[in-house]
Amino acid sequence: MKFGGTSVADLSKMRNAASRIQSEVEDGNNVIVTVSAMAGTTNKLIDKVKEISSLYDAREYDAIVSSGENVSAGLMALQLQSMGINARSWQGWQIPMKTTDHHSNSRIEEIDIENLIKKFNSGMQVAVVAGFQGISSNSRITTLGRGGSDTTAVALAAAFKADLCDIYTDVDGVFTTDPRITENAKKLAQISYEEMLELASLGAKVLQTRSVELAMRYKVKLRVLNSFVEGSGTLVCDEEDIMEKRIVSGITCSKDEAKLTLMGIKDKPGMAGMVFDCLSKANINVDMIIQNISDDGLTDVTFSCPTSQVDVASQALEQGKSNENFNYSKLVVDKYVAKISIVGIGMRSHSGVAQTMFKALGQENINIKVISTSEIKISVLIDRKYLELAVQILHDAFELEKAQN
Amino acid sequence: MKFGGTSVADLSKMRNAASRIQSEVEDGNNVIVTVSAMAGTTNKLIDKVKEISSLYDAREYDAIVSSGENVSAGLMALQLQSMGINARSWQGWQIPMKTTDHHSNSRIEEIDIENLIKKFNSGMQVAVVAGFQGISSNSRITTLGRGGSDTTAVALAAAFKADLCDIYTDVDGVFTTDPRITENAKKLAQISYEEMLELASLGAKVLQTRSVELAMRYKVKLRVLNSFVEGSGTLVCDEEDIMEKRIVSGITCSKDEAKLTLMGIKDKPGMAGMVFDCLSKANINVDMIIQNISDDGLTDVTFSCPTSQVDVASQALEQGKSNENFNYSKLVVDKYVAKISIVGIGMRSHSGVAQTMFKALGQENINIKVISTSEIKISVLIDRKYLELAVQILHDAFELEKAQN
């Protein structure tokens, strides 16, 4: 069971979470609980770190920001004890939860399960594990990136071959789209790992992408549930286990996208490589890429990136020009675009999904600026002002209001 | 160098502390810095623990409250790095700082110096150690009691045979008495370990008692300095190293004292034992004890304890009566007393110190209710309303305003 920051935001919410743990214990289960820091704690710590220096040592950052989870874990253990449950807290180094040395963005390499097993065998009913953290090979504290407690929970579930991994959050489950955009949005009863992975990558913040990857790899039965409202949540599982197969399961959108077009690039091998080498060195998260057909030895390259990175990207490209093999005539920036994506495993076997999408948008005169597809996803860039409209009409077009919830 | 909670209360105070560390580094010294939690942090954490349960698991308490020092240590390391100093933070388990298993009141048993030595040899200039914490034999986090960071600092100084152990705080040093009571109070240039130990035990909050014991045992040259004001502070050292030998070095007072008298106890062997067995089982901190002379087979026993414990003590004694061998006719409680103590190694060789004290109090018609002495200390209980007056006249009587500062 994993409880996010809003689920342990104060002691009364912690009591609520503890009572959910209690009923699992009363059902005779051994439980490993993963907790996040109390909502707001981690951001406050990060602010302090950044106030000292923007170029901070990630090892110290990790040592500092991991403290919030230690506090939650201890408090949750005390709360459970006060309810008569044999519980104790575990920090990353105590388990130990071994990770790579990539501070502030580590990956779990190995979980030593022996210590916890021994404790379970000697009467411990609940192990409360501080999420988000681990230790490197030279015994320094590491963290797993924002949302990393999801990954801690899934990794523990995989290591212990848990029957179930319940992720408690402040929403009822995974929705067909953001319920703030259309009231037709429906909670999904089930979703496949692959779809969840696309949704998480596209910015649906309900689960950390890496946790979904891990769950898929180790076949962890993952449920997303609301801490505060009773409900069956959403089960993330194997494609084969899904009863109702849908063509499209969800629609995501992101409004902080920008489209950049480099005009007048020499159309010869290696040019695209140079462009994206420039951008990669400047740590730009390039998302979609298109290269237009060339007819005069010159071509245009279009890509999208987060709006916040436009200035850094422009600068990096300008500086890249000093390399005499690399040149372009003009950089055209459109900061007012949004990305809409439809995701569904049904796309693999059904043709006409793209057509339905483009037709629906076309009927509302929404111009598609860039298209990118994967096996189970179609993403388009459109004018930002059409974002809500586009989500609503696509939700209708694919009849997502009929999803089983 | 140890920096207390007020010395690292915010980032600007941390910068100030860091600049003091920087000058030690520039002088070519390797420095081990011990930091407390940022002022207020630990109390907030303790409040949360107590809100969950008054009977909390001390192991979880330790895991929770130790987190404040981890944050300070990381932030201080970052601050030093931003000034170009090769610094890193160390949590108790990383050193490791091995302690007894007495959670929330552990004692340091062994400090493994190898890891730090290795790092110093490979370029580390400053080790920033999270104060107040250690690990038990079964790898759980322990804490050393309130003020425990002083002990961390002294223990590290002893283990590394440091040239000096500087305790940075928010006062100029150790004073002849509380400057809030008399403006004649003088900072002492030097004080012996023995005197400092008595002063710390009597409630002068400038150093944790145990840190002074450790410093005395390992002959650690200890200085108490003000983080915010330049000055020479107070050197705590061996009696033989003190230039100016004073008869009385300091006067302490405590107003949260209560005097309890058990009247009509059978005067036979074992009775006092029963009384204090009762009190000890109820965790009462009994301070002074007097038994009056008996002439009719019955006697009175008087003791003092913190005012806050009077109710628990009364209850424990009342319940103790159920033991048929133990009885008393009446319990008389005086909640309005204060304790005044004079401390000085000179008392060993000078007679007449007690006489001077009693005479000075007598001249102001201050009645002495209880007297207790040790080799270098005389304590008396008086009416609380005379506390300030008593300190002032004793400060004058022993000419403490002439202390070398």
Specify if B322 maps to a domain: yes
* pLDDT score of A267: 80
Inter-chain touch B74–A91, beta carbons under 8 Å? no
Q: Which among B170, B190, B219 is the end of a domain?
A: B170
Q: Do B245 and B153 share a domain, yes or no? A: no
Does A48 contact chain B (CB < 8 Å)?
yes
CATH number at residue B285: 3.30.2130.10
Chain A residues inside the 8 Å CB shell of B57: 77-78, 81, 88
Residues of chain A with Cβ-Cβ distance to B89 below 8 Å are: 60, 63
Whether A81 has its CB under 8 Å from any CB of chain B: the answer is yes
The Cα of B82 is separated from the nearest Cα of chain A by a number of Å equal to 7
Same domain, B250 and B158: no
CB < 8 Å & 24+ apart, contacts of B266-274: B266/B297, B266/B298, B266/B299, B266/B327, B267/B294, B267/B297, B267/B298, B267/B299, B270/B325, B271/B299, B271/B301, B271/B326, B272/B301, B274/B320, B274/B323, B274/B325, B274/B326
Contacts of A405 (CB under 8 A, 6+ apart): A173, A186, A187, A188, A189
pLDDT at B324 over 70: no
Q: Which residues contact B328 (CB under 8 A, 6 or more apart)?
A: B262, B263, B264, B265, B317, B321
Residue B141: its chain A contacts at CB < 8 A? 91
Q: For residue A197, is it within any domain?
A: no
> What ipTM describes this predicted complex?
0.86
Furthest CA-CA distance within chain A: 78
Domain assignment present for B162 = yes
pLDDT tens figures, B136-160: 999 999 999 988 999 999 999 999 9
Question: Could A71 and B64 be called an inter-chain contact, meaning their C-beta atoms sit closer than 8 Å?
Answer: yes
Q: How many CB atoms lie within 10 A of CB B18?
A: 27
**Alpha-carbon distance A334 to nearest alpha carbon in chain B (angstroms):** 38
Give B82's contacts in chain A (Cβ within 8 Å): 52-53
Instruction: Please indicate, yes or no, whether residues A149 and A39 belong to a single structural domain of this protein.
Output: yes
Residues A327/A265, Cβ–Cβ less than 8 Å: yes
A170, A188, A209 - which closes a domain: A170
C-alpha B278 chain-centroid distance = 26
CA angle B41, B43, B46 (to 5 degrees): 115
B60 closest CB neighbour out of A60, A78, A141: A78
Number of structural domains (chain B) is 2
B228 CB near a chain A CB, below 8 Å?
no
On whether residue A320 sits in a domain, the answer given is yes
Query: What pLDDT sits at residue A274?
Result: 86
Distance from the Cα of B73 to chain A's closest Cα (Å) equals 8
A26 shares contact with chain B (CB less than 8 Å): no
Question: Is position B332 within any domain?
Answer: yes
Distance from CA of A77 to the nearest CA of B (A): 7
Please check whether residue B379 touches A, CB under 8 A.
no
For residue A13, report the phi and psi dihedrals to the nearest 5 degrees: -70, -35
The strand ranges marked E within B171-288 are: 190-192, 222-226, 234-237, 250-266
* Residue labelled with tokens 């600092």: B153
Q: What is the dihedral of CA B116, B117, B121, B123, to 10 degrees?
A: 20
Q: Report, in angstroms and rounded to the nearest whole number, the Rg of chain B calculated over CA atoms.
A: 23
Q: For residue range B271-293, what is the model confidence (pLDDT) as tens digits? A: 888 888 889 988 888 999 888 77
Contact call for B77 and A57, based on CB within 8 A: yes
Which among A60, A74, A89 has CB closest to B77?
A: A60
Query: Is residue B139 within 8 angstroms of chain A, CB to CB?
Result: yes
Within a domain: residue A304? yes
Are B156 and B19 members of one domain? yes
Rounded to a whole number of angstroms, the distance from the CA of A56 to the nearest CA of chain B is 7
Grouped pLDDT means (10 residues each) for chain A, 405 residues: 97 98 97 97 96 94 98 98 98 98 95 97 98 97 94 98 97 94 94 94 86 96 96 94 87 93 86 87 88 80 92 92 81 95 91 93 94 92 96 96 84
Contact in structure between A159 and A63 (CB atoms under 8 Å): no
| CATH number where B16 lies | 3.40.1160.10
B89 touches chain A (CB under 8 A): yes
Quick one: which of A199, A197, A190 has its CA closest to A243?
A190
A61 touches chain B (CB under 8 A): yes
Using the Cβ of A141 and the Cβ atoms of chain B, whether some distance falls under 8 Å is answered with yes
Please report residues of B whose CB lies closer than 8 A to that of A89: 60, 63
Q: What is the pLDDT of residues A246-269, one digit of tens each?
A: 899 999 999 989 999 999 888 888
pLDDT in tens, B240-252: 998 877 899 999 9
Rounded CA separation B240/B306 (Å): 35
Supply the range of the domain harboring residue A379. 240-405
- Residue B259 within a domain: yes
Do A34 and A163 lie in a common domain?
Answer: yes
> Domain ends where: A170, A197, A223?
A170
H-helix or E-strand spanning residue B405: none
Which of A11, A73, A94 is closest, CB to CB, to B139?
Answer: A94
Is A88 in the B-facing interface, judged by CB distances under 8 Å?
Answer: yes
Q: Does A159 share its domain with A277?
A: no
